[in-house]
Amino acid sequence: MIRLADAFNLQADACENLGSPFNAMLLRQVALNMGDDHPVGAHLYGWPSYDTFRSGAVALRLAGAMHSVVLLEMDEGLAAVYPPNQVDADTLWRAVEQAMQAHSDHIIGWMESPPQTNEIRRSNALIPGFHLIAKETGLPLVMSEIGASTGLNLNWDLFAMEIDGQVWGDTDAKVCLTPEWRGPLPPLTDITVLGREGCDIKPLNPNLADDRLRLFSYIWPDQTQRIENTKRAIELACATGRTVLQEDALSFLARRLEPVKGAARVIYHSIMWQYLSDEDQGKGQAMIFAAGAEATPDTPLAWLRAEPDAQKGSAAITLNLWPNGETRDLGRMDFHGRWIEWF
């Protein structure tokens, strides 16, 4: 069984690999020093399980809670050890422990909600898939995103993705994605989106200050470019007026899998399937495959996802497109979509 320290060290390694040395240092200090002699420590040691993301991603919850203290300007001592300031590990831990003591109620309360970063760079993996679907079907798209969080990636067609001087999308787009690209260039075609919806069990509303604060608390504080691009994506989401429905994945699928004549239905998601139980994963896949079996060239169905698999350190980009419906391995991405390996 994974212990508290193991869970925090594992997440620290992930943060290091994903370009956040600050979060890595923070979580390693928690793993090394955290005791159960104050309310936050007792809360962490009382966490039901540390085994998987389904048990709550406790390390990311705590990191988000500590970042929220800084963003809310609740603790000058903690702000002084957060980026852009640079300190050693011992200095960081002293400030963190003092903040935990002083703001335990806030930190514990913040940890009640699961992490939601709504990472827009994951659209680097999705946009090429959408172009492939549109090219192969020759039809407009009806988009359905499971686990859409704040709904930032619902606006993928308003983003620009630039690879080797070529741009997928509007060259004047407010949000510009510049992934490290490996492999051949993806397809590029004209796309019409007829409609879109997203669901989440606990969605955030980009129009609400409290929800924006929660979103930014989970974005790692030493990744300034990521923060700035997310700000622009939030402005775009507010301008479009699109919000995410509070609905579970299975209920959402039951509605969104209905055939749409003359359009390709696209079910998509990124780094969220792991949060579903094995039972719900099985039911969801069965629902999608059953709907796919009924698809025709005039009512095609696509299931596009970027999700972890047995290969460590990256996620698989996978597509099923009915009729036919064979599982196609399109490529791989790192978990934040910084690089794409396109097959």
pLDDT digits (tens, 9 = 90+) for 273-320: 988 999 999 999 999 999 999 999 999 999 999 999 999 889 999 999
Higher pLDDT, 54 or 60: 60
User: Chain-wide mean pLDDT for the chain?
Assistant: 95
Residue 296 or 171, more confident: 296
Q: What confidence score (pLDDT) does residue 47 get?
A: 93
- For β-strands 301-308 and 141-146, DSSP reports them as unpaired
Instruction: Decide if 68 contacts 110 (C-beta within 8 A).
Output: yes
pLDDT at 134: 98
Nearest alpha carbon to residue 154 among 226, 240, 214: 240
Share of the chain above pLDDT 70, in %: 99
HSE toward the beta carbon, residue 55, CA cutoff 13 A: 15
**Phi and psi angles of residue 121, each rounded to the nearest 5 degrees, phi first:** -70, -15
- Give 16-34 pLDDT, tens digit per residue: 999 999 999 999 999 999 9
Q: Which domains does the chain have, with CATH numbers?
A: 4-110 (no CATH), 120-342 (3.40.50)
Give me the mean pLDDT over the 320-325 stretch: 97
Query: What are residue 146's DSSP bridge partners?
Result: 199
CA distances from 70 to 66, 81, 99, 298 (A): 7, 10, 10, 53
* Per-residue pLDDT tens digits for 206-251: 999 999 999 999 999 999 999 999 999 999 999 999 889 999 999 9
Question: What backbone phi and psi angles, to 5 degrees, belong to 161?
Answer: -115, 115
Cis peptide before 84 (omega within 30 of 0): yes
The pLDDT, as a whole number, for residue 221 is 97
Instruction: Tell me whether strands 175-177 and 327-333 are parallel, antiparallel or unpaired.
Output: unpaired
**Residue 54 pLDDT greater than 70, yes or no:** no
CA distance 110 to 100: 12
pLDDT at 322: 98
